[in-house]
Chains A and B, each alone.
Chain A
């Protein structure tokens, strides 16, 4: 098992997410070519079909597009699409679990807001 992946979600989804991260960070820009399925497979020691599944997902989502016989490229507007989608997920994946933890240990939303506004540092 490649150390770059965990068992939490299918590997192809993790590959898709990795490429998304690269686009969000600006490591991959619109119009850039993505490494080939076989390069990916060789680098991470995973089945090329698994990589292809991740790529197909990104193509279906409009993040990548295919140029026949050449390879995969980053679509125009990919970063903006991803940012919008990740913003939605930010609340359900990051904020909601934090609020749940806070409720469990008796931290009030006001305390959290105060902390975020930097009041925690002066206390």
Chain B
């Protein structure tokens, strides 16, 4: 199975006077695992609803293999969106949810569903409304993975899981991806745990696409420069500073951009520490515009 490309061009979504997505442009090549990052309200769910065909864009285009998802079942059957379903299936039994999904999804893998339900210990006979938050999440994940859709998006659905179940989810996801490669989009604001699963990362901020980058490249762009304040200031002059902290005469500045080896060597020779910044910290800094504005005007952050 090959997964089609997902292409957004100037994609915009407004709810009344609120702009949820603002002129978003990207191309997701088929068959990779993407991290869709953003703070609460950044537009992650809006973007995924457009992908699943639940809404129509207010402007621009979103296409899957060249076709728009809205009201096109040929497109939407290729997209599985895993999210908290709300009260929709409350009265259904777990087994009925699975049977329904099996009828709706042309590539449904019943054996996979059976294995996952067993692993997550979701009782088949119970009604959905009587399940705990974690078991409901597990059921959503089961439906999403067993659907074997060419494009599968997890919209924070796994956040309801406890830690052992989340690790089970990562294992199942990778195992399934290994045998059935396809496009996987994982939306989250809890990054630390899943960062190593991503091949590429997209960061949405206030409805705009802040960046779309290979995750290794993104990691290599961030650095924390620490040392005597004056020396740090000299070094970071001309670099993009995302945030800074002070401890007496010592200053630490998080910078973003290409730091070549020569520059790093000179800094170390000058007694500065250059440390990597974990993806989650980089994300926090990049989406912290209040702190950046404060830093730009010289105020303490």
Contacts and interface: CB of A to CB of B under 8 A. Distances in A.
Interface string A1-15: 110011111111000
A28 interface: no
Interface residues of B, number: 24
B171 A45 contact: yes
B276 interface: yes
A1 B199 CA distance: 13
A113 interface: no
B196 A45 contact: yes
Contacts of B276: 6-9
Interface string B196-207: 111100000000
A33 interface: no
Q: Mostly helix, strand, loop or mixed at chain B's interface? A: helix
Contacts of B197: 45-47
A41 interface: yes
Contact of B198 (A5, A7, A47): A47
A11 to B, nearest CB: 6
B278 interface: yes
B170 interface: yes
A97 to B, nearest CB: 9
A49 B196 contact: no
A75 interface: no
Interface in A34-85: 38, 41-42, 44-50, 53
Interface in B6-63: 32-33
In the complex, the 7 A-B pairs of residues with the closest C-beta atoms, listed nearest first: A38-B178, A10-B216, A46-B196, A7-B276, A49-B199, A7-B278, A47-B199
